Amino acid sequence: MEMTAIILIVCFFILLFINVPISICIALSTLIALTLHMDFTPASITISQQMMGGLDSFALLAIPFFILSGLIMGQGGIAKRLIECAMAMIGFLPGGLALVNVMSCMMFGAISGSAVAATSAIGSFMVPEMKKHGYSENFAAAVTASAATTGMLIPPSNILIIYAIASGGVSIAALFIAGYLPGILLGLALMMVCAIYSIKNNYPVTARLPFSVMFEKIIAALPSLLLVFIVIGGIIGGVFTATEAGAVAVIYALVLAVFVYKEIRLNEMPQLLLKACETTAIVMLIIAASSAMSWLLSYTHIPQMVSEFFLTLSDNPIIILLLINLILILVGAFIDMTPAVLIFTPIFLPVAMQFGMSPVQFGIMIVLNLSIGLVSPPVGSVLFVSCAVAKTAIHKIIKPMMPLYLVMFLVLMLVTYVPAISEFLPRLFGLLD
């Protein structure tokens, strides 16, 4: 069994370092490792069956819907109105534009469920605006990248749906509700760093808008923000499932973008649908390959071996949970979030539960942890998008990223060791025993 794990890890990282796509890395390394236990033909058939079985889940139908709704919102003028709303509310505070950047990413991420979409949609407006008012482009890029990760926690979030499947059936509604407090806490922590950094560097403060203008901007953004209440309220109230909520989100976003804001023409929809199909295909291939690897890990009893190994290291939950977090931070720097959740949830969830952590709390912890990987080199996809938007290089934004990394890690520690941050709201709504 140890040899299977070694072959699996070595093959995976060799393929990864020669720039083989992540889904192919996972599938090929799984196939090679499985040939230690059976001939090539039955091994390839088994892997194919497991890949197809990994996609046989009704909950996964929510993902293409939320991807499409996110694309519609990104092009439908919603980002612009959310930015104007945030500007009206907090733009006059110290470091106002940086705070607006964070708040806009939080709101857009909560609506679209995509960190990359939030980085692109919000960053393409806020980064030039921050540069125009004297902010460093490197600081602007760092703020956009880190703030965009809040959308992974604030629902609706595709990665929370994927975790629900990987964990063996944790309530999606409970996970969605559980993400609110950690996501808001992360956003507030980032805002605090932005304010201190802005004051230290003497960045300008924008003028307070008249109350009538402020009220107008907030009212203009309300139809966009209403989507969150419709989706989450419908799921909690039992009106529809998470999958049906995705379909509702598409219809609402389409009506808003085409008929209310009039930013999208109907003849542009085929292009958006094609892009949604491409993104969905990539995500589903990763899920299929990761499901096959998860099956191999279970087949070879590797999760049990890992659990026994951790128990031999210490019986102190503080040490074990810290060790799990450090491993996941390292993993997140090299592996994209979706395969990491699918592969490492079956490995670490049993260990965490043995030390008293609920599956809901662990889900929020692993998503927040791997969100740090989205903004960490060498693989961090959000970091690359933010640098492209700001027209700067990754090595130039690492310095302004350091205090943001620090507060993200501190929030991660709070989520890890204070269960109430993740569990209070699900318990309040009767979604957690």
User: What's the DSSP call for residue 42?
Assistant: H
Taking alpha carbons only, the member of 91, 69, 373 closest to residue 224 is: 69
Determine the pLDDT at residue 137.
87
List pLDDT tens digits, range 198-257. Answer: 888 887 777 777 877 888 888 888 888 888 788 878 887 778 887 888 888 888 888 888
**In the block, which residue shows the tokens 């992540």?**
22
| pLDDT confidence band for 406 (50 / 70 / 90) | very high
Query: φ, ψ for residue 262 (rounded to 5)?
Result: 55, 40
The percent of residues in the chain predicted with pLDDT above 70, rounded, is: 99
Peptide bond into 378 cis (omega under 30): yes
List pLDDT tens digits, range 7-25. Answer: 888 888 888 888 888 888 8
List pLDDT tens digits, range 215-226. Answer: 888 888 888 888
Annotated domain spans of the chain = 1-54, 55-428
Determine the pLDDT at residue 390.
85
Taking the C-alpha atoms of residue 292 and residue 27, their distance in angstroms, rounded to an integer, is: 7
Residue 188 has pLDDT above 80, yes or no: yes
Residue 1 has pLDDT above 70, yes or no: no
Determine the pLDDT at residue 404.
93
Mean pLDDT across the stretch 100-109?
84
Taking the C-alpha atoms of residue 362 and residue 368, their distance in angstroms, rounded to an integer, is: 10
Mean pLDDT of the chain: 86
Torsion of CA 358, 360, 361, 365, to 10 degrees: 130
